[in-house]
Structure 1
């Protein structure tokens, strides 16, 4: 009996573009204020004609120039080689031994890695989750599209609108106002609007010193929040572990962890009760899979940070999958945004990660 030859793809070229998209609800947080958000769109072209897509969210458009240069340099090094994400990931990481495994180099690796996985799944005619051994289906999500450090009197109406965007059962609220009484009032306003059954995640965006966090989190520990996210600077694993050991409310970190080895360091330090890696820092699909194995072995919940389209596929094959962070900031450049209903993101049954660019929008938002 004849068997079908396996699909083999070869790297040809990479096209990288930068867009900046206005936000419906500007970000107002300890990390800064953003009225628009930049995206780095990466297209990996293969000699066989399959094109893999990915994107990065570098926060500040000034960071894009250096990241784009690194992606293009990496693409040139990989030109003519097989599209084999694990091989290319290891090869790229080994090249960092003398420079360090963190920072923008790993972010560039992530862009290439996600696009390669997308291309492989497309070549096989499979959704990414199926290529990874899972099935297409819903992933529970919370809405992170608002509830920033805006005037407290606006929170109730915004919370109600956020729930209605997809019949959400969970929302993220940003905390860390100047006085704890204002954080308490903000939580109360949101609960007044949406009820006690809506789950609230509290995010401090690294805005507190350790001593301030110790006081503030104890004062908020009876508010029934799902977690306290990044109360202190992200790489203070010792301080974060001390907080996690003292508090009833789980401590959540992870969006600023760079790669699986850094992730293992956090886990070994007992830095948090739960983790939420960011795909551009953890190392794309490959970095996530390796980190998820660590979390699974340790029995630690894994949630996602941004990148909802790729993240949905990964959550379906993650042993300790917890919550997906939903945001729609990049939807204007997507040809077919993912569907949100019943408080879940629904993975479409189409090849690859399921993303394609709306080229007219890309042109409109290009910088």
Structure 2
């Protein structure tokens, strides 16, 4: 059967705000409300592609929602070829720069376009990309923030048991280094040695502090140490990667595949974990995955587990999928994790449908 030809008609972007069950408490920010932008890409043929963005702060949606509507108007009438649209959308924003919110808006368009194309073909996205439906190894990243170390053991058990996870992420960066070590001990003692533990400083340290704190963690059997320094300090991360035995993980702030290439060229990390709204959606991920694959660098995901699951099935150096259920309240049929594996539903596209009653209840007035 010949693939369907689709034509972009319009984009609808709706801002919603959800209350987090376990608030984000990191060194650089505390977040209790989680903003999402729901994207519906309408085609002349009636197929609707869906995706969402997670822009961290409510005020950011005031800029991204109009940007998405503008992209829809500018590209109306174009054939729905995601790679072509990605290039056209980026070029339309050339004079304001390819990074930052420009790329985030383009990434949202790209993810929705790929969803529509796979829906029109009647296959899950991973199949359209040349892979197959199957499980993806995931770790739970939905908790273990900078809370009282004594309470983290019980929370770690609950997070592990939510989906039989074999990996958990713990956030570090408390005022006293010994409190971080106490938190790590509490989690390890609760879940045992067979659970992979990742730690994330959320860019909260300077280089001197990072050297001291990361060395204290270097014999703890961690899967990785994530973003100890501000994201664009690649030279500093390179010093840490050289100094430490524990792998250094960065990448959620790569704006496009060239950022990933530069980080690897500078030796700034051992592992990479791009974020879909910054790397360039599905198109940007595929290009970044090719770079990581050539270097044999393990590649994990950041947020967006529904999109992440599909592309991990076609990523040569697929490592870990980061799981959060933060978008589940507005999804008609959320994905499930069983035995530590995210199960991709055998549905066309990404399989995303909005729970319109929940959307109406959480719609934001910007």
The alpha carbon displacement at 1:179 in A equals: 1.7
Give the aligned CA root-mean-square deviation in angstroms: 0.8
Distance in 2 separating the partners of 1:80 and 1:352: 22
Cα deviation, 1:162-190, whole Å, max 9, x if unaligned, reads 01100111100001111221111111101
Runs of 4+ in 1 over 4 A off after TM superposition: none
What residue is the counterpart of 2:76 in the other structure? 79
Distance in 1 separating the partners of 2:29 and 2:3: 48
Please state if 1:70 is matched with 2:67.
yes
Q: How does 1:206-245 map to 2 (within 5 A)?
A: 206-245=203-242
What residue is the counterpart of 1:97 in the other structure? 94
Structure 1: gaps of 5 or more residues: none
Distance in 2 separating the partners of 1:241 and 1:359: 46
1:6 aligns to what SS in structure 2? coil
Distance in 1 separating the partners of 2:221 and 2:292: 24
The alpha carbon displacement at 1:97 in A equals: 3.3
Please state if 1:39 is matched with 2:49.
no
The alpha carbon displacement at 1:128 in A equals: 0.2
What residue is the counterpart of 1:284 in the other structure? 281
The alpha carbon displacement at 1:7 in A equals: 0.6
Match of 1:181 among 170, 178, 183: 178
The alpha carbon displacement at 1:215 in A equals: 1.0
What residue is the counterpart of 1:52 in the other structure? 49
State how many pairs are aligned. Answer: 364
Structure 2: gaps of 5 or more residues: none
2:246 aligns to what SS in structure 1? coil
Distance in 1 separating the partners of 2:206 and 2:119: 46
What residue is the counterpart of 2:17 in the other structure? 20
Give the TM-score normalised by structure 1.
0.98
The alpha carbon displacement at 1:94 in A equals: 2.4
What residue is the counterpart of 1:358 in the other structure? 355
Cα deviation, 1:14-47, whole Å, max 9, x if unaligned, reads 1110000111111111231111200000000000
Distance in 1 separating the partners of 2:69 and 2:27: 32
Match of 1:138 among 135, 138, 152: 135
Please state if 1:247 is matched with 2:260.
no
The alpha carbon displacement at 1:100 in A equals: 1.9
Give the TM-score normalised by structure 2.
0.98
- Which deviates more, 82-91 or 4-13? 4-13
Match of 1:330 among 304, 327, 331: 327
What residue is the counterpart of 1:160 in the other structure? 157
Distance in 2 separating the partners of 1:316 and 1:26: 30
Cα deviation, 1:273-310, whole Å, max 9, x if unaligned, reads 00000000001000000000000001111000000000
Distance in 1 separating the partners of 2:111 and 2:196: 31
- Which deviates more, 214-223 or 115-124? 214-223
What residue is the counterpart of 2:58 in the other structure? 61
Distance in 1 separating the partners of 2:78 and 2:336: 36
Please state if 1:258 is matched with 2:252.
no
Match of 2:302 among 298, 302, 305: 305
Distance in 2 separating the partners of 1:196 and 1:183: 18
What residue is the counterpart of 1:148 in the other structure? 145
